[in-house]
Amino acid sequence: MVFNPYLPINEYIPDAEPHVFGDRVYIFGSHDAEGGYTYCMRDYVTYSAPVTDLTDWRYEGVIYRSDQDPDYPNRKYMYAPDVVRGNDGRYYLYYGMGGDYGYGGYDGPISVAVADKPAGPYEYLGFVRNADGTPMQKYICFDPAVINDDGVIRLYYGTRYGYEEEDDFMTNGRLDDEVKMFNRTREEILSYMDSGESVNGPAMLVLEDDMLTVKEEARLIIPYKVKGTSFEEHPFFEGASIRKINSTYYFIYSSWLNHELCYATSDKPDRDFTFGGTIVSNGDIGLNGREAKDRLNMTGTTHGSIENINGKWYVFFHRLTHKSDYSRQSCAEQIEIAPDGSIRQVEITSCGLNGGPLPAVGTYPSVICCNLTNHHMPHGSNSIFKDSFPNVTHLGDDRFIGEIENDTLIGYKFFEFNNNKKVSVIARVENAENLVVLDAPLRADERVGQKGFERADAVKDSFTSEDCILDIRLTPEGDTVGKIIIPHSDDPMEWIRCEGDADIPNGVHPLYFVYHGSEKIQIKDIGFE
């Protein structure tokens, strides 16, 4: 059995690139710190599983350290990597480096490390370079992705800000923003524009067999200007990833909306891509017409890809925890590629790689919830929130949902019920002693979505301090099939097992808790009898 997140609940590997090498699937990604204050604070590790058993993930250990890169500690943190098997049979890891909050992440080279096995250990090899040995710096060298395309080594990378499509770009200060952000001169940025393109956008180049030297110069695979194109509503932002399915190239990316993985297809590796659709959103935005204001989780940065594992396709992405963009956990869902090559957006679930519903037996961590909302959840971007809203967090060795306030919805999809009569939680009332307070800088960049995030400080109706009630439901707004009372304790740190009778028909159903109370609560585990 396995659930989302599919790695240990104290592990944080965002930007996941899944690759099948031999009879195992490996997860390569960034490595966040639990409760960290910025992106990618830890060294690269990987996990792997047999392609025939996606419940059996094995920790492979640290595969590469940031201090192995010669630029350390000028840039301390390694960002979203990818790994490819070279024509020599060795494995090559491509990555970028930056500092706190991503500063410096847009102006460094793409670095390369090499190993004899997929799980390393990797050793520094060099940086992607031009034929004359200088660092390749065409476009913005960010979020590398690489593919061995029948012996041709193709490297994809880039980021895109839409400033240059603004009518007053030359006078509104955005040019200066790009100069500062990309560490490029005004003249260099304008020279791209004079040639009819931009320093922004997803690019592709071809490497020599040495895996370092540019063989074919980089070019943008999607035109920078997206207005009037199929990409207008979902323009590329970052997180390039590439797959080839039969003769079609699938370019997977994080859109400017920043909560979704999208895809585009072409029969050519370097041009003529058309927008395909959204594969997954970490707030289920867009699914069945859901609007951003109705997001089912805190949303924010996502990055990942798709992979065929033992004949089935999956999408790997990440979710946000700790009220920030800096403690991200990898999740996965099975997807279907239709005969016409299209991919329909999938809903996020608690089951993920399990291949079916979770049995309603025993105890599960509460943090495998796939929906967590107070109905006005924020969108983060390179940020930590100090505002109170329900979130996955930790205190010591406990991982739990904290700051559960009145009217919070907590959802799990799906459980298979079989003569279950009771549902339980291990919970406690939140107070000043057990409240998680992050001891780190708090910041919010310009793209943090505050709209719709008005605080609901006034408690609805007339709940008293003695009323801490969890409604048990099978649909978000459906009838209550049971109730659980959360009592107070003289010990503020004590976790209490609380149960309630539940009238749940046999079969596969979602499970929802809706909280009512004037005080906030925390939930560590859920259970069934």
418, two tokens? 């079989």
φ and ψ at residue 104, rounded to 5 degrees: 85, -5
Contacts of 255 (CB under 8 A, 6+ apart): 234, 235, 236, 237, 262, 278
Are the CB atoms for 345 and 279 separated by under 8 Å?
yes
Question: What residues are annotated to the active site?
Answer: 15, 238
Question: Residue 179: exposed, middle, or buried by beta-carbon count in 10 A (0-12, 13-18, 19+)?
Answer: middle
448, two tokens? 């943090």
Q: Sheet harboring 248-255: ordered strands across?
A: 236-245, 248-255, 260-266, 274-281
Are the CB atoms for 32 and 41 separated by under 8 Å?
yes
What DSSP element (H or E) covers 143? none
526, two tokens? 């859920």
What DSSP element (H or E) covers 179? helix 174-182
Left (φ > 0), alpha (ψ -120 to 50) or beta: where does 192 sit?
alpha
249, two tokens? 């190239």
- Nearest of 49, 35, 514, 38 to residue 316 by alpha carbon: 49
Query: How many Cβ atoms are within 10 Å of 215's Cβ, its own excluded?
Result: 13
Residue 465 vs residues 459, 468, 500: alpha-carbon distances, Å: 11, 7, 20
Query: How many Cβ atoms are within 10 Å of 510's Cβ, its own excluded?
Result: 19
Q: 396-435 b/e with 16+ CB inside 10 Å = b?
A: eebbbbbbbbbbbbbbbbbbbbeebeebbbbbbbbeeebe
What one-character DSSP code corresponds to residue 68? G
